[in-house]
Amino acid sequence: MSATLASFPAGGIAVVVGATGGIGAACLLALRAMPGFSQVVALSRAGAPPLELTDEASIAAAAASLPPAPLRLVLDATGMLHEGAHMPERSWRQLDPAHMARSFALNAIGPALLMKHFLPLLPRDGKAVFATLSARVGSIGDNRLGGWYSYRAAKAALNQLVHTAAIELARQRPEAVCVALHPGTVATPLSARFAKAGLQVRPPSEAAAELLAVIDRLGPAQSGGLFDHHGQAIPW
């Protein structure tokens, strides 16, 4: 599958946040290989200026550092499933308040701050998209296996934040789109320990191509939704 992002007005800027991650780096590469955007900006905590999700000032500074052309696409590919000794919980016995708070900080509050500082930069006319990578496991309606309490709950919160921001966005930017996307299971450091046999694990390049093709097809009618890498809506 190959996307051209021809649905966007030519000459704008695209931004990938979390450009150092497995999926983020693949999206950056794919976007830079496409015509259409005048510049594709990579943001990450290792970049210049550094963008650290838990430091709002760094997010504001990164937003302020963008070149002066219309911002047409923001793709947020940040996120955290496990960190250090903290693995996704199998039982309520493993719930740890500090890890829960960290998961919410990175998977929900950080992306909300990205919306706070980047959504106002979207042009008032023409297609513009803010897409953040969520996860199917954040769907309450789809939760049949349990476990992964913190990640599931933080992604569910992210989905609600996206839906809420989309309503506000539509008031002044009727052609803009704000969505949460599920990339499927992708071979990255985030998923490596958990990609069970039977699950279809795809390389980041394939996931990036699929996600960009979905973004190319999105319109205002889809704003506020949660979609998988085929463009199928996922229940809340």
Taking CB under 6 A as the criterion, the residue among 24, 36, 88, 225 binding ligand NAP is 24
First to last CA, the chain: 27
E strand segments, 19-175? 37-43, 71-76, 128-133
Instruction: Tell me the residue number closest to ligand NAP, measured at CB.
Output: 79
Taking CB under 6 A as the criterion, the residue among 13, 106, 165, 212 binding ligand NAP is 106
| Helices and strands (H, E) in the chain, number of each type | 6, 6
Produce one character per residue of 124-144: b if its CB has 16 or more CB atoms within 10 Å, e if not: eeebbbbbbbbbbbbbeeeee
Number of residues binding to ligand NAP, judged by CB under 6 A: 29
In the region spanning residues 56 to 85, those forming contacts with ligand NAP, defined by CB under 6 A, are 77-81
In the region spanning residues 130 to 159, those forming contacts with ligand NAP, defined by CB under 6 A, are 133, 135
103 part of the interface to ligand NAP, by CB under 6 A: no
Instruction: Give 20-48 as a DSSP string.
Output: TSHHHHHHHHHHHTSSSEEEEEEE-TTSS
Nearer to ligand NAP, 160 or 220 (CB): 160
Distance CA 108, CA 87 (A): 18
222 part of the interface to ligand NAP, by CB under 6 A: no
12 part of the interface to ligand NAP, by CB under 6 A: no
Interacting residues with ligand NAP (CB under 6 A)? 18, 20-24, 44-46, 51-54, 77-81, 106, 133, 135, 182-183, 185-186, 188-191
